Amino acid sequence: MANIKSAKKRIKVINKKTAVNRRVKSHLKAIIKNFEAAIAENDFDTAKEKLALAEKKLMKAAAKGTIHKNAASRKVSRLTRRFNKARA
């Protein structure tokens, strides 16, 4: 356990940031699962909406530093490719 006041504060701050990042990542996983479910049901109108939402949320998470920008771009690219392949 930290003895110095600033170290104690850093522990609190890190715990708060970790909690926020966990919530965001969990939310992203749920959005991607919803997109995949729409693809599985061949509901392309809903899938297109879910894809747009997923792209928006992934890029926002990347901008905030929750995930790396290249990881977000890679995920968006794979989701888009999957959507186009399923629709074709």
The CA angle 68-58-61, to the nearest 5 degrees, is 60
Q: What is the pLDDT of residue 78?
A: 98
Split at pLDDT 50, 70, 90, the class of 24 is: very high
Q: What is the pLDDT of residue 88?
A: 85
Q: H helices of 3-88, where?
A: 5-40, 44-64, 69-87
Query: What is d(CA 5, CA 33) in angstroms, rounded to the nearest whole number?
Result: 43
Phi first, then psi, for residue 66 (nearest 5°) are -70, -45
Q: What is the mean pLDDT of the chain?
A: 96
Between the CA of residue 46 and those of 25, 64, 75, what are the distances in Å? 22, 27, 19
Q: What is the pLDDT of residue 73?
A: 98
